[in-house]
Amino acid sequence: MSETVKQIDPREAAFQAHLDADGKIEPKDWMPEAYRKTLVRQISQHAHSEIIGMQPEGNWITRAPSLRRKVALIAKVQDEAGHGLYLYSAAETLGASRDDMVDALIEGKAKYSTIFNYPTPTWADIGAIGWLVDGAAITNQVPLCRTSYGPYARAMVRVCKEESFHQRQGYEIMLQLARGSAEQKKMAQEALNRWWWPCLMMFGPSDADSPNSAQSMAWRIKRHSNDELRQRFVDQTVPQAEFLGLTIPDPDLKWNEEKGRYDFGAIPWEEFYAVLKGNGPCNRQRAAARRKAHEEGAWVREAALAHAEKRAAKAAAAAAA
């Protein structure tokens, strides 16, 4: 009786042993195709999130309440664009084509963080994004500075430094509103009410429902599970809300003395999956704005290409002379 024995590729065994010893993988190293695909998926989604993430805040640049706030907000939005560009470059080191990634986003085929499909109706939402969205992003991304793929890990180091500045500017906006008039404090509370649950969803489905986590953790792409990071975020953020004198909109939130952490209420996962499927409050608006910006930027890409071609022709002529 013949039996087919699955041969373990020795390269795969060496690859896993290298990861288990906390080694990094660099672009020219051998890697399993599934590892490469997972990284392209995660890094491109991350890049798209940064690019779409410019919209909810960009929408307030012309209405920032002072010159100082406007300068800080412009710088923050510009930083997000920069993060998107580093991340597209990191994905390119894995053989992904930037045109394909950009097309997937424009055509609405690519995922990006659900958080950016929510509206920013008041100035307090800008404070809440900086405090909570960047706070959640930092919680998720600090461990990514140790992710196993070198170019992604290195991009994250700079991204995290900039995100921590963003978070402070958001918290400072919230502090000023919370210590301002009764109307301003109400605005800050309402923004916290709007952003709290969507921020908890940023960490992805609970561990039992996360199809990618186990493999990504074995490959040390992810260093902690979605639920671990979500818990860390809650534990860090509750005292910050208390300092602001604001209330987290969760009647089940309670300190658990025994476990040394906060217990919190049920996350409305049906809302998460609806937003993920394209049915959030702003999904269509975000995609349309991105498409319009891409179309309106066509002349810049053409000019840059014409300039690059002219320089290349000049260099070739000089080399031939």
| Residues near ligand BYC (CB under 6 A) | 41-42, 45-46, 49-50, 53, 80, 111, 113-114, 133-134, 137, 140, 201-205, 210-213, 216, 222, 226, 276
- Six-digit token string for 44: 């491109």
For ligand BYC, which is the closer residue by CB, 80 or 125? 80
DSSP-assigned beta bridge partners for residue 146 = none
Q: Minimum distance between the CB of residue 132 and ligand BYC, rounded to whole angstroms?
A: 10
For ligand BYC, which is the closer residue by CB, 43 or 185? 43
For ligand BYC, which is the closer residue by CB, 133 or 241? 133
For residues 73 and 294, give the distance between their C-alpha atoms in angstroms, rounded to a whole number.
22
For ligand BYC, which is the closer residue by CB, 82 or 245? 82
For ligand BYC, which is the closer residue by CB, 138 or 177? 138
For 65-75, give one letter per residue: b (16+ CB within 10 A) or e. eeeebeebbee
Amino acid present at 274: A
Of 72, 68, 63, nearest in space to 162 by CA:
72
Find the DSSP H helices in the chain: 10-20, 33-52, 54-58, 67-92, 98-106, 123-128, 134-141, 150-178, 182-201, 213-218, 226-244, 269-274, 283-296, 298-320
Which residue in the shown chain puts its C-beta closest to ligand BYC? 53
Q: Minimum distance between the CB of residue 41 and ligand BYC, rounded to whole angstroms?
A: 5
Overall size of the chain counted in residues:
321
Of 198, 190, 203, nearest in space to 271 by CA:
198
For residues 290 and 296, give the distance between their C-alpha atoms in angstroms, rounded to a whole number.
10
Q: Minimum distance between the CB of residue 79 and ligand BYC, rounded to whole angstroms?
A: 9
Q: Minimum distance between the CB of residue 178 and ligand BYC, rounded to whole angstroms?
A: 21
Q: Minimum distance between the CB of residue 20 and ligand BYC, rounded to whole angstroms?
A: 19
For residue 314, count CB atoms less than 10 angstroms from its CB and return exposed for 0-12, middle for 13-18, buried for 19 or more: exposed
Q: Minimum distance between the CB of residue 12 and ligand BYC, rounded to whole angstroms?
A: 20
- Cβ neighbors of 163 (< 8 A, separation 6 or more) are 134, 137, 138, 141
For ligand BYC, which is the closer residue by CB, 168 or 247? 168
Q: Minimum distance between the CB of residue 162 and ligand BYC, rounded to whole angstroms?
A: 10
For ligand BYC, which is the closer residue by CB, 256 or 279? 279
